[in-house]
A = this chain, B = another copy of it.
Amino acid sequence: MHEAGVGVTLFYIAVVLLAARLSSLVERFGQPAVIGEMLIGVVLGNLALAGLPFFEPIKQSGVITFLADLGVVILLFQVGLESNIRDMRKVGMSAFLVACVGVVLPMVFVTYVIGPLLLPDLSANAHLFLGAILTATSIGITARVFRDLGVLQMREAQIVLGAAVIDDVLGLIILAVVSAIVTVGTVSAGDVLRIVGTALAFLVSAVVIGQVFAGLLGRMFARVNTGQGMKLTMALSICLISAYLAELVGLAPIVGAFAAGLVLDSVHFHPFARPRFVQDVQATTARIEPQAKAAVDEILDRYTDRHIEDLIEPLGAVMAPIFFVLTGMNVALSSLLDPTFLLTALGITVVALISKIAAGFVAGNVNKWVVGWGMVPRGEVGLIFAATGLGLGVIDQRIFSMIVIVIMLTTLLTPPILAVVVRRGERRGMAVEAASAKA
């Protein structure tokens, strides 16, 4: 039940939440809120350098780390809810091309060029691992930036989200294959096929089975109770179970959460009662003039239809910032003081940037810079790869720290630049659309 010291964890959670909210001041400077959350995380996480180690226990807390993971799971679920399978299908081919190029380029460049050049004393296997680590785009960071800017429905955003899911799958396949090469020295074609097969089977069956079962579950749960709590629990449980199933087949849990959001549609929640408040307003406006009533009803319909997003919103608003503040906190500024370390990290970062921006150029008739920069941030998947390499002994603690710095740099650089690129693109929107209509 209640254990001594639970209060301290509650306090740390409050610190993270308040820091995250206060950091939304960056929005005044046109930056997405996520960059503020990561920056204040960097500050909180490095206060020990200034002799103020008050917040160090936050990094070690298993509970807060879990809450951060849960936060990014809920965020990806929200992004999935706001995305749409039909829209995703339209960008399928572009997303697939962007994903493939964005996986092959950093893999080849880092393994065969920049790795041997900047880190000549490492083994060929270490270079291979370094390349693999930099393949997977962090869907969390990019999705959050697009969301903060209110452009999730934009074609470019849909391509990036699709490509990020695909290169997450490709990346996890590469990780499995590279791990096999490093440990066993070789890998059979059968193993590769099995890994690829499971991943694809999960995603396809999530979408196909989900479409059928979500409606069935909705009717079943609504039979027990049509309240708002039931509606929220049903949606959230489908998200959590899908995240678990993704992990079971070897994918990142966030991929499962995204798939769950993609599958759930407002139609699955129609058997539930409308919120009490909507019922109240409807009862009151029943007597007013028909035209005004129609206008109010339209808002109410829109509100009820997207009410599952609204129910999840407070949970997401509380949980997701924990992940981004904690990500910032894990950047050790002290390691930046070693110039060789710093230069090597910067060199790898430049390659990591260029190889993904280049991938944007195969995206077809869209704003290629938005797609390219959208693919830049590496995140949780890259960190899982790095942790796996550390566990296998292919890379050491120093290289691990360097990878964390590279991942953080790609992540910190992206939001402000992506915000600028998106806004510039929006201003030129008319011109681009006119040109594309001509072509």
Contact = CB atoms under 8 A, between A and B. Distances in A.
A15 B315 CA distance: 18
Interface stretch (A206-214, A288-296, A427-435): A288-296
B277 A241 contact: no
Interface stretch (A123-131, A172-180, A227-235, A333-341): A227-235
Contacts of A225: 21, 24-25, 27
A295 B285 CA distance: 8
Contacts of A62: 62-63
B277 A284 contact: no
A439 interface: no
A214 to B, nearest CB: 14
B7 A246 contact: yes
A292 B282 CA distance: 12
Interface string A70-88: 1011000000000000000
A14 B241 CA distance: 7
Interface residues of A, number: 82
A65 interface: yes
A29 interface: no
Contact of A68 (B1, B7, B314): B1
A377 to B, nearest CB: 13
A266 interface: no
Nearest to A278: B277
Interface string A147-176: 000000000000000000000000000000
Contact of A380 (B1, B8, B65, B310): B1
Nearest to A238: B14
Given A232-B318, A244-B8, A18 B237 contact: yes
Contacts of A330: 1
Nearest to A6: B69
B232 A3 contact: no
A2 interface: yes
Nearest to A69: B6
Residue of A66, A230, A315 with most chain B CB atoms under a 10 A cut-off = A66
Nearest to A297: B284
A252 B254 CA distance: 36
A1 B327 contact: yes
A9 B66 contact: yes
Nearest to A299: B280
A49 interface: no
A48 interface: no
B284 A295 contact: yes
B318 A296 contact: no
Contacts of A246: 7
Given A14-B244, A229-B317, A314-B315, 16 more contacts: A6-B247, A8-B244, A10-B244, A18-B237, A62-B63, A229-B314, A232-B318, A277-B299, A281-B296, A281-B299, A284-B292, A284-B295, A284-B296, A285-B296, A287-B292, A311-B314
